[in-house]
């Protein structure tokens, strides 16, 4: 009796293998692990940016300008990196390059002996975020098609903030153990940085093309001018709803102080010792994670209306954070963390829902440019007004947030 003929083994298509080996939620969690490790690095450094610059002779205005320019660089430069990522379709390359820049600059920051060198490194670290973010968010957006936009981005942001909580705590511990020496405190952050890059390279090997999670995500024509019937150029426009929420977010963040200014206030008014500032920052990141999860789940139920909470958080934050009562200032910083959680999760989910896949990295870049410009204005405004008059700072911030609410109400009424 002859043995049964063996059927030839046909190699499984790569997209099917990816689906079986790494489900959408596993992809989100793996990417969240990368962000957790990277946040361990750069949030650990950001938690002491204000005191570090002050130790090198910076004034409140300089701290506000440097941190404001850094945040603007992290966002406005996505005007370039977003369209380039869409055009080249090398999303993994842009993501890895951006994380690598952050991993290199943070340990060097602890060795900076002059203000200008430290300022350049602070801004360079933020440039790394600009390089990677549109591509990273686009990769992640494909998987959130299956998990739910709000929930997927919220879980990713929550994992982000686990790292953002651990990093400042480690920095605080090393500062306390070394008597305030920034070199070892920031040097220890090199280890999680290397681990983040290793996980990222592994994830790229497992899922080289995350569009398998979003079957409708077929590449679209090259963004840019397209011919009309008469032969003239016709620009390809993003949806009007995209610009509506970009304008609202920009108005909200224009009245939003950076943590650099908040931490400067804490140290200059001697409300907290320097080593305790990263601990407070870690607590704010914990609140960030909770707020991201709450608003992410709410977004999947009620949509972008959940963003109305941002102006109220910003108003309450500034009223509390710039007092001379330690308990109130701590409460204000925690509200700052809640606002950051909404910004980093729900705003990104909204963009993914408003813009088709082929132009999504471009949209993330443009959106980030709007809110980056607003954050630069907010950082400079907070630093300048802090030096001039804290009551004026509070009054201007509240007025800007009221304007943001009016803008949101007007745009919602136009849509209905």
Higher pLDDT, 231 or 187: 187
The SS3 of residue 272 is coil
Task: Please count the other Cβ atoms lying within 10 Å of the Cβ belonging to residue 414.
Answer: 9
Q: Of the ranges 41-55, 62-76, 135-149, 223-237, which one carries the lowest mean pLDDT score?
A: 223-237
**Mean pLDDT, all residues of the chain:** 79
66-122 residue pLDDT tens: 877 887 777 778 878 888 888 888 999 999 999 999 999 988 888 887 888 888 898
Distances (CA, A) of 186 to 128, 274, 279, 286: 17, 15, 15, 21
18-33 residue pLDDT tens: 444 578 889 989 998 9
| E strand map for 160-273 | 226-227, 233-234
213-269 residue pLDDT tens: 876 554 444 444 443 434 343 345 777 778 877 888 788 877 676 677 788 888 888
- Give the Cα separation of 74 and 40 in Å (integer): 17
Express as a percent the part of the chain with pLDDT over 70: 86
Provide the token pair at 234: 């016709």
Q: Which residues pair with 234 in a beta bridge?
A: 226
The alpha helices in 77-228, defined as continuous H runs, are 78-88, 91-109, 115-147, 149-178, 182-187, 190-206
Stated pTM of the model: 0.67
Distances (CA, A) of 58 to 54, 109, 201, 335: 5, 15, 38, 26
Task: Name all domains of the chain by residue range, CATH numbers in brackets.
Answer: 23-213+238-415 (1.20.1250.20)
Which residues fall within 8 angstroms of residue 84, CB to CB, at 6 or more apart? Answer: 94
Evaluate the CA torsion angle 44, 173, 313, 51 in order and state its sign: negative
Which residues fall within 8 angstroms of residue 232, CB to CB, at 6 or more apart? Answer: none
Buried (b) or exposed (e) across 70-85, using 16+ Cβ within 10 A?
A: bbbbbbbbbbebbbbb
Contact 311, 404 (CB under 8 A): yes
């Amino acid at each position: 009796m002859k043995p049964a003929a063996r059927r030839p083994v046909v190699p499984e298509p790569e997209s099917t293998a990816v689906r079986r080996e790494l489900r959408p939620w596993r992809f989100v969690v793996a990417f969240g692990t990368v962000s957790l490790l990277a946040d361990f690095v750069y949030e650990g450094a950001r938690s002491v940016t204000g005191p570090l610059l002050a130790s090198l002779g910076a004034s409140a205005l300089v701290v506000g300008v440097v941190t404001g320019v850094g945040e603007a660089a992290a966002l406005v430069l996505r005007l370039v990196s977003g369209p380039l990522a869409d055009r080249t379709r090398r999303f993994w390359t842009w993501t890895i390059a951006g994380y690598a820049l952050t991993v290199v600059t943070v340990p060097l920051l602890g060795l900076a002996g002059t203000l200008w060198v430290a300022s350049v490194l602070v801004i360079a670290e933020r440039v790394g975020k600009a390089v990677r973010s549109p591509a990273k968010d686009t990769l992640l957006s494909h998987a959130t098609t299956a998990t739910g936009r709000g929930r997927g981005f919220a879980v990713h942001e929550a994992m982000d903030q686990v790292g953002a909580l651990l990093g400042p705590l480690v920095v605080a511990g090393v500062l306390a153990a070394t008597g305030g020496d920034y070199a070892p405190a920031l040097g220890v952050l090199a280890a999680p940085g290397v681990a983040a890059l290793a996980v990222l390279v592994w994830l790229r090997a497992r899922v080289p093309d995350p569009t398998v999670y979003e079957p409708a995500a077929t590449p679209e024509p090259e963004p840019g001018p397209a011919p009309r019937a008469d032969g003239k150029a016709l620009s390809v426009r993003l949806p009007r709803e995209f610009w509506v929420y970009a304008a609202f977010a920009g108005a909200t963040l224009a009245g939003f102080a950076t943590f650099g200014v908040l931490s400067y206030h804490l140290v200059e008014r001697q409300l907290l010792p320097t080593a305790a500032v990263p601990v407070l920052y870690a607590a704010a990141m914990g609140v960030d994670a909770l707020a991201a999860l709450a608003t992410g789940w709410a977004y999947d139920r009620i949509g972008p209306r959940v963003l109305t909470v941002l102006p109220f958080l910003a108003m309450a934050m500034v009223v509390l954070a710039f007092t001379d009562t330690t308990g109130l200032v701590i409460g204000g910083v925690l509200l700052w963390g809640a606002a950051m959680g909404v910004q980093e999760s729900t705003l990104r989910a909204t963009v993914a829902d408003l813009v088709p896949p082929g132009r999504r990295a471009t949209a993330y870049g443009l959106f980030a440019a709007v809110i980056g410009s607003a954050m630069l204005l907010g950082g400079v405004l907070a630093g300048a007004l802090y030096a001039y008059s804290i009551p004026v700072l509070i009054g201007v911030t509240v007025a800007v947030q009221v304007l943001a609410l009016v803008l949101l109400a007007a745009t919602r009424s136009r849509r209905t």
